[in-house]
Amino acid sequence: MFDSDAKKSDIFEKFEKIGQRAEAVLSLGKLPFGMTFDEILSPTRALVNGREIILAGTNNYLGLTFSEAVKSAAIDAIARQGTATTGSRLANGTFREHIDLEEDLKTFFGAKSAVVFTTGYQANLAAISTLAGRGDHLLIDADSHACIYDGCRLSDAETIRFRHNSPEDLAKRLARLPDEGARLVVVEGLYSMLGDVAPLDEFVAVAHEHGAYLYVDEAHSVGCYGERGRGLADALGVLDKIDFLSGTFSKSFASIGGFCVSRHSGLDLMRLVSRPYLFTASGSPSNVAAARAAMGEMMNGPDLSRELMARAHQLHAGLAEAGFAPASPPGPIIALPRPDELTAVREWNQLLAAGIYVNLAVPPATPHAKSLLRLSVSAAHSAQEIDAIVSAFRDLT
């Protein structure tokens, strides 16, 4: 080792403020970020410090992570193809099952083309940055997920934000644009923080009127809305009018990976030029097999989205009755805005002590600098578990 560790400038200095904020949070109990689950027992139960808790913040909307069909598909894939692909889709990382998964996605969504990525984050990063190039315009909802913003940063197009869920504001901004260049409007289906949904039918109309393409990230809404969980666009009757639909395998699909499907065949050309597609290894055989099996369950198994919505309504009503004001109407994501960050942290700790895990969401990850307790419902939650969650909220002091 060196005698002295003198550097020109302290590279960690920039994290000082966030470090202080984390310490203030930690002084109230456990650090709610990056918490460790010692053991996962089921889609709705885990062990933390030797104690069994109910999970109410997992994005495991359909509870398929423990489905026998999904688990055995993943195990079988490992047995037949090994644990990893050890390469990029363009080189040695495309196995038969990656292609089969893309074919399944085309069938599921009635799309002309489908591309599978290693994560949903990379799907948005890849598709957005590659579709919109120099001279084009990206119009994104102001409350977009970080990976949509990052996709825009990686793109050579100009990015313009419009007010959250406002087709009127989008129309105004589209009307201001010059005639040259393509226009790509990017919105989400179900918003991950506040649990509100986009008026996709209205966005379709505005995009059409202004000659723009519409890109919808349905990371949270696939599995939850629409016929057989095809998503919000399907539920609103506009699936065939969406130009690009992206999503993730990390939530309802009980795996990891991401995808983009399109009614245009041109999407396939992206494979040759998109950096987040080219320069990373492809999803492992077990991940791909699990995603396919989960999609199979969604298409042919019992309709889990109905059970999910029934539980969502139960939880929403229970929390409202207990005096809380959910940010949005009943849905798979239920967000409760709290007065400030420290109250939210204190309540988060109380809930954990009562055996309930929820998500804590604080700025800048949340819109309008809100501090939230965020719950996500699973079709695997029993009615009794929902009651137990409500009861823990009622006991908050």
Partner 1 sequence: MHSGTDQKTIFEDVARVLSARSHTQAAIRPDTRIGADLEIDSVEIFDIVMELEDLYNISLPVEAASDIDTVQDLVAKIGQLANVR
The footprint of ligand PLP (CB under 6 A) covers 119-121, 124, 145, 147, 188, 192, 217, 219-220, 248, 250, 258
Angle at 198 between CA 327 and CA 101, to 5 degrees: 115
Contacted by 75, from partner 1, ligand PLP, none: CB < 5 to 8 Å by type: none
Beta carbon nearer to partner 1, 7 or 176: 176
Asked whether the CA dihedral 380, 296, 88, 247 is positive or negative, the reply is negative
Write down the least CB distance from residue 207 to partner 1, Å.
16
Beta carbon nearer to partner 1, 325 or 369: 369
Per-residue contact track with partner 1, 171 to 190, x per CB under 8 A? --x--xx-------------
Contacted by 121, from ligand PLP, partner 1, none: CB < 5 to 8 Å by type: ligand PLP
Beta carbon nearer to partner 1, 97 or 341: 341
My answer on whether omega of the bond before 302 falls inside 30° of 0, hence cis, is no
Beta carbon nearer to partner 1, 237 or 363: 363
Write down the least CB distance from residue 1 to ligand PLP, Å.
38
- The amino acid sitting at 88 is S
Beta carbon nearer to ligand PLP, 258 or 318: 258
Query: To 10 degrees, what angle do helices 146-154 and 120-131 make?
Result: 40
Contacted by 345, from partner 1, ligand PLP, none: CB < 5 to 8 Å by type: none
- Residue 291 tokens, joined: 């995603």
Angle at 294 between CA 277 and CA 279, to 5 degrees: 10
Contacted by 311, from ligand PLP, partner 1, none: CB < 5 to 8 Å by type: none
165: contact with partner 1 by CB under 8 A = no
53-82 binders of partner 1 (CB under 8 A): none
Write down the least CB distance from residue 315 to partner 1, Å.
29
DSSP string, 234-261: HHTT-GGG-SEEEEESSSTTSS--EEEE
Between the CA atoms of 85, 222, 299 and 302, what dihedral angle is there, to the nearest 10 degrees?
Answer: 120
Write down the least CB distance from residue 8 to ligand PLP, Å.
35
Beta carbon nearer to partner 1, 112 or 163: 163
Beta carbon nearer to ligand PLP, 147 or 294: 147
Distance CA 126, CA 116 (A): 11
- Residue 101 tokens, joined: 């998964």
How many amino acids of this chain bind partner 1 (CB under 8 A)? 14
Q: Are strands 158-162 and 137-141 parallel, antiparallel or unpaired?
A: parallel
DSSP string, 25-72: HHTTSS--TTPPPSEEEETTEEEETTEEEEE-----TT-GGG-HHHHH
Name the nearest CA neighbour of 146 among 169, 115, 124: 124
Strand partners for 160: 139
Among 85, 129, 159, 371, binds partner 1 (CB under 8 A): 159
344-383 binders of partner 1 (CB under 8 A): 363-364, 369
Write down the least CB distance from residue 362 to partner 1, Å.
12
Write down the least CB distance from residue 82 to partner 1, Å.
43
Angle at 171 between CA 166 and CA 172, to 5 degrees: 100
Strand partners for 52: 47
161: contact with partner 1 by CB under 8 A = yes
Write down the least CB distance from residue 8 to partner 1, Å.
22
Per CB under 8 A, residues contacting partner 1 are 142, 149, 152, 158-161, 163, 173, 176-177, 363-364, 369
